[in-house]
Amino acid sequence: MLLSFPLLFLLQSAATPTAAGSAISDGRTSGGVVTPPRIEATVMVDGRLDEPAWSQAAVLRGFSQFLPTDGVPAVDSTTVLVWYSPTALHIGVRAWEAHGQPQATLADRDRIDSDDWIEFLIGTFDDGRTATMFGVNPLGVQADGALVETGQNNVQFGSAGASRDRADLSPDYTWSSRGELVPGGYQIEIEIPFKSLRFQPKDSQAWSFQVVRHVQHSGFEDVWAPARRANASFIGQSGRLENLEGLRRGLVLELNPEVTAAYSGARAPDGAYAYGDVDPDIGGSLRWGVTNNLTLNAAANPDFSQVESDAGQITFDPRQALFFDEKRPFFLDGIEQFDTPNRLIYTRRIVQPVFATKLTGKTAGADIALLSAVDDRAASAGGNNPVFNILRIQKGIGGGSRIGMAYTDQIDGNDYNRVADLDGRIVFGGVYAMIAQLAASRTRTNGVTATAPLWSFRFDRSGQRFGWRSSFTGVGDQFVTRSGFISRTGIVRANFAPNYSFYPAAGSLIQRLTTAVTVDGTWQYQNFIHSRGVQDRKLHFDLNAVLRGGWTAGAGYFLESFGYDQTLFANYYLGVPDGTGGLSYTPYVGQDQIINHDFYVSVNTPTFKTFDANILAIYGRDENFPEWASADLFIIQGGVNARPTDQLRLAFTYDHQQAIRLTDRSTVLINRIPRLKVEYQLGRPLFIRVVGEYASSKQDSLRDNSRTELPIYFGDGSGGFVRAAAFSRNIFHTDVLLAFTPTPGTVVFAGYGRNMMEPRAFRLRGLERQSDSFFAKVSYLFRL
């Protein structure tokens, strides 16, 4: 028989009493400041919290709600215990849940966001803008990463208002955690070795410290140190662990040798299918903690492949390049220190380096990140080994503000690309933040050298009720960053988006309602410089609601005008009958403007124990980019995450884009990408994953749909012309992976991937294999 919640609380408290001299910090009354005790003791991390050391720990309680409404007492009770030994930080959690059993699954690392979980943000440099994140669910499954507040990670499609920056879950650290469900809630035990942290070279330290509890049944986020939405910095509102003394990090030296092998096949142009040789690669990496706050990484012939293929994306605007996240472990360690506005550093530009070294950390009061790599010859058009040198330096100037500079240099034979950058973020008045950036690139290609600027200014207000986002950015026509990612060059863009939030009475169906208006304009860079007209204009009206129980919904209306882009259609020609049965080819000139009217609606369910779902639907009059004409556009993006058991997870997503001509209601293009990922956690470190993705793309023969209906041709580059004929591509991709990952760096992977094509979409008959690969990897982390 389960004990009642109040009785359980009393019994648990009696089992691990708080010593009379233990520090107690009530977040709502003390503001979240505590001095945890230093105890010469070792404990077994088993989730029990029954060793004597826990009775002496500092006690953190008095949590407040942050989302959806800040400043009110938390509904669910949470108690956190903190103490430290000379070599590690120890944290215990008792989270009481009066509404039923907490949600918890035996998930893979960093996949606990659908569970109830506790997030710890530890700012070891106490700079008000950076923190290391350690998260754990009720079963002790870990999530970890780094958080650097930039103020740029809070804007999504159709969003109204801003939210706090979230941690980048790419880095993985070595630490221990165990948890267990108990009647009325759950409890967790955590040990974070100081070897896994960088911290200040001081005898007595003060670290910022925030605890965030994620409660799935309500969708609430509770915090220990009170935090307001009306603030430009979330980390800056953290509590503090004070008077930390005698911390011993010791020697941090990690050696990670690895062996990889692949057996790959591909179909040749003549239709024959053949496999290559199995050629095992031996490589590895070294990680050395030079000081308490400076780390050196080096890798020779490492495995830079990705364990999971990138999910397919649909291109909505062909002028915008698609972005894919970095997933390779070597680049993920310390990746947060390379962050710049407008992403001037993007490590996926380094394709397959034969050697790389990296230095990250803090020295002389500044964050420093240095990366050098020699890439494979296959990444060079001239058969050279491209060389990358990347430097990023940032210095905090108090209150979450910072200034920074970056320099990137990519050399490929006699060609090069160099970019210099100066940027900063200033936080003031509690709710205001300004971000400014000035950069220039110098590029030499085939003996021709070009220089171009990039500049950006952003000014935001993060008010609880009233706020805004505004930006003004220009990217020169010849601006190039071969070490970074700029989705579109040669433009100037201005944007202003005020928002206002309403908070109905407690218990109402609608818990927060936010309205926003966005005014956006885009110029061709040279048109802006010479005071000529704007090319694209956008006026968006958004309405977003947070509902009782964790539901969210949004709706909006877009009024837009897009101007004709001569560069995009420079290779378009019309086939004009010449009166003799033949054709003459004249350059294509489209209509000056296309006017768009679009409506959208989005719904996100709460994260229920067994599933959650989301959908975004857009319908309206929009541009048919392939023919530069108006069309009826329909877009749907949705997904369902199912958790039928504690060990089984299924994630299904579907992307759909369809454009229908106004003249004869024919479909000019349709893109469909369903994707299913199935993961089964055989044990905490062992899982199997199967991914299936079908990418279907179909486009009709192109014609001048806005005016003459004449057929469109493409120039072939040698004076000839090729009809823009109809095409269909149907690619079915599958991945299977068996992974054993007891600790970060120690892994055994065995996988298989295959690409197949078929002539008719979604028939799954007549599939013809185009390529496949068997893959295996073994690595072991030696930690001294």
Burial of 506 (0-12, 13-18, 19+ CB in 10 A): exposed
With beta carbons less than 8 A apart as the criterion, state whether 191 and 179 touch: no
Which pLDDT score is estimated for 1? 34
pLDDT, tens digit, for every residue of 350-363? 988 889 999 998 88
Give the predicted TM-score (pTM) of the model. Answer: 0.85
Residues 168-184 have pLDDT tens digits of 888 889 999 999 999 99
Beta bridge mates, 357: 298, 372
Percent of the chain's residues with pLDDT above 90? 70
Contacting residues for 54 by C-beta, under 8 A, at least 6 apart: 16, 43, 81, 83, 92
Average pLDDT of the residues in 495-500: 96
Query: Is residue 689 within 8 Å of residue 739, measured between CB atoms?
Result: yes
pLDDT tens digits, residue range 413-436?
Answer: 999 999 999 999 999 998 999 999
3-class DSSP state for residue 283?
strand
User: Within a 10 A sphere around the Cβ of 483, how many other Cβ atoms?
Assistant: 25
Question: Is 279 exposed, middle or buried (CB count within 10 Å of its CB: 0-12, 13-18, 19+)?
Answer: exposed
Amino acid letter, residue 145: G
Q: At 24, which amino acid appears? A: I
- Residue 555: beta bridge partners? 543, 601
Decide if pLDDT at 398 tops 90: no
User: Would you call 52 exposed, middle or buried from its count of C-beta atoms within 10 A (0-12, 13-18, 19+)?
Assistant: exposed
Split at pLDDT 50, 70, 90, the class of 325 is confident
Residue range 189-205: mean pLDDT, rounded: 92
In terms of Cα–Cα distance, which of 420, 291, 249, 404 is closest to 338? 404
Residues 205 and 187: their CA atoms lie apart, in Å, by 28
User: For the residues 229-252, what does the mean pLDDT come to?
Assistant: 92
Which helix (H) or strand (E) element contains residue 387?
Answer: strand 387-396
Tokens in use for 223? 């915090």
Average pLDDT (728-740) is 95
CA nearest to 176, candidates 148, 136, 213, 211: 136
Q: Which residues of 1-33 are buried (b: 16+ CB within 10 A; e: fewer)?
A: eeeeeeebbeebeeebebeeebbebebbeeebe
Tens of pLDDT along 87-131?
Answer: 999 999 999 988 888 999 988 889 899 999 999 999 999 988 889
Domains and CATH numbers, the chain: 5-154+174-245 (2.60.40.1190), 253-604+660-670+681-783 (2.40.170)
pLDDT at 159 (0 to 100): 53
The secondary structure of 603-650, three-state, reads EECCCCCCEEEEEEEEEEEEEECCCCEEEEEEEEEEEEEECCCCCEEE
Type of residue found at 307: V
Contacts of 156 (CB under 8 A, 6+ apart): none
Q: Return the minimum-mean-pLDDT range out of 47-56, 334-343, 541-550, 659-668.
A: 334-343
- 568-595 mean pLDDT: 92
Give the pLDDT mean for 656-669: 96
For residue 340, what are its two tokens? Answer: 């710049």
pLDDT beyond 70 at 672:
yes
Confidence of residue 768 (pLDDT cuts 50, 70, 90): very high
Can you give the three-state secondary structure of 148-216, one letter per residue? Answer: ECCCCCCCCCCCCCCCCCCCECCCCCCCEEEEEEECCEEEEEEEEEHHHCCCCCCCEEEEEEEEEEEEC
Give the pLDDT confidence score for residue 310 in this predicted structure.
67
Q: State pLDDT tens for residues 706-726.
A: 889 999 999 998 989 999 999
pLDDT value for 227? 93
Mean pLDDT over each residue of the chain, to the nearest integer:
90
- Count of helix runs (H) and strand runs (E) in the chain: 4, 44
pLDDT given at position 152: 66
Q: What is the pLDDT of residue 594?
A: 95
For residue 280, the tally of other CB atoms under 10 A from its CB is 9
Q: How confident is the model at residue 315 (pLDDT cuts 50, 70, 90)?
A: confident
Q: What is the pLDDT of residue 319?
A: 83
Q: What is the pLDDT of residue 305?
A: 60
- Judged by DSSP in three states, 493 sits in strand
pLDDT of 304 over the 80 cut: no
The Cβ-side half-sphere exposure at 387, using a 13 Å CA radius, reads 6
324 confidence band (pLDDT: 50, 70, 90): confident
Ordered alpha helix ranges (H), 291-410? 329-332
**What's the pLDDT tens digit per position in 67-83?**
888 889 999 999 999 99
* Percentage of the residues of the chain whose pLDDT score is greater than 70: 94
pLDDT in tens, 628-658: 999 999 999 999 999 999 899 999 999 999 9
CB of 438 closer than 8 Å to CB of 422? yes
Measured CA to CA, the distance from residue 717 to residue 571 in angstroms comes to: 9
Tell me how far apart the alpha carbons of residues 358 and 329 are, in angstroms, rounded to a whole number. Answer: 13
Q: How far is CA 447 from the centre of its chain?
A: 38
The CA distance from 425 to 436, in Å, is: 7
Question: Is pLDDT at 19 greater than 70 in this prediction?
Answer: no
At 583-613, the pLDDT tens digits run: 999 999 989 999 999 999 999 999 998 999 9
The per-residue b/e assignment along 687-699, b for 16 or more CB within 10 angstroms, e otherwise, is: bebebebbbbbbb
What are φ and ψ of residue 373, in 5° steps? -150, 145
Residues 188, 153, 617: CA angle, nearest 5 degrees = 100
Higher pLDDT pick, 535 / 578: 535
Least confident of 327-341, 548-562, 740-754: 327-341
Query: Hey, what amino acid is at 640?
Result: V
Say yes or no to pLDDT of 578 above 70.
yes
- Angle at 62 (CA atoms; ends 58, 63), nearest 5 degrees: 110
> Binning pLDDT at 50, 70 and 90, where does residue 8 land?
very low
Q: Please write down the HEC assignment for all residues of 73-122.
A: ECCCCEEEEEEECCCEEEEEEEEECCCCCCCCCCCCCCCCCCCCEEEEEE
Q: Lowest-confidence range among 22-31, 247-256, 756-765?
A: 22-31
Is residue 721 a contact partner of residue 690, using CB atoms and an 8 Å limit? no
Higher pLDDT, 31 or 113: 113
- Top pLDDT among 472 and 5 is at 472
